[in-house]
Amino acid sequence: MTQDRLRLGLIGYPLEHSFSPRLHLAALRACGLNGEYRLYPIPPGPDRGEKLKELLDSLRRGEVKGLNVTIPLKQEIMPYLDELTPAARAIGAVNTISGGDGLLFGDNTDAPGFLADLRRLEFFREGRPATALILGAGGAARAVVHALHQAGWQVIVAARRVEQARELVDELHAIRFTPVALRDALEAISDWRSALTLIVNTTPLGMPPWMETSPWPEALPFPEGVFVYDLVYNPAQTLFIRRARRAGLKAANGLGMLVEQAALSFERWTGLDAPRAELRNAILEFQG
C-alpha cells in the first residue's frame, strides 16, 4: 500500500469550504501512506448524472480507492451503488464509498461520528432519556435522526419542506412527532420546550455562501438549558452558534463529528487505525 498512490476524494457541491482534504492528508502522512485527497465538485445541471457515473467508474476500476459524499448527493448517489451497509440502508443516505472487485459499496459514518462527538463533549449519556429537535431533513439529518433514535432518544424533525420531513419520518419509522414545516414547529416550541435537551442544525445555513443566515428565527427565544449543535464547521462560529451563546447556551460546531466520520471512512478504505489526534491537530493548526 505504501508503494501505490492511494487516491481518495470528496464529491458534492459546493466544496470550497471543506476541511476534508486537510484531515485525510494528515491521516495519510501519519500512517506513512503515499496518497492524495481531491475535491470533485459536481454542481447541479443536466450533465450531473453523467459526471457522477464517470467518477464512480474510476472507483469501480480501482483508479480511485474511496470517496466521501457530501450535500446534496448523499441520497442521490445511492442508485449508482451495488451494495449498501445496513447502516446506510437504514439511514437512506451514503457519505462513504469504497470500491472492490468492480463493485461499489456505500456506507454511512455520519451517524456513529455524530454520537462519538456527543460523547467526547460529555453531553451524551447512555440510557438517559432525552429529546432532540433536528432542523432539516436531508441526508445529514437522516444520519443524526437514526443515531439518536437508535440510542433511545425522542426525536422531533422540522424542515422547510414538510414533505421532505414526512418522507424521512415514514422511511425511518423513528419519529414520535408529526413532521411539520420548520417555522410552524419553531413557533409552536412552547408546547414542548420543557422537554427539549438538544437542537441540531443539519441544514447548510451558516456555511458559505449562506454565512449570514441561521435556521433559527432571530425573534424566537431559545429554550432554556438546551444544548445547541451545528453540523456546519466552517466558519467555526456560525450565526446560529453565536446567537445561542449570546443566549447563555452551550454550543458546538460539527468539527468533532467531521473528524470522527473522516476517521471511520479512512479506516474503511485502508484497514488501519485512524490517528484521530493528528486529524484534530491538523484542523486546529489551520484555524490558528
Catalytic residues: 74
Burial class (CB in 10 A: 0-12, 13-18, 19+), 216: buried
> Residue 10 phi/psi, 5° resolution?
-130, 135
How far apart are alpha carbons 108 and 284 in whole angstroms? 25
- Indicate the SS3 state at residue 181: strand
How far apart are alpha carbons 239 and 223 in whole angstroms? 17
Question: In the β-sheet with 35-41, what is the strand arrangement from edge to edge?
Answer: 35-41, 6-12, 66-69, 96-100, 103-107, 83-84
Closest to 36 in 3D by CA, of 58, 69, 64, 73: 64
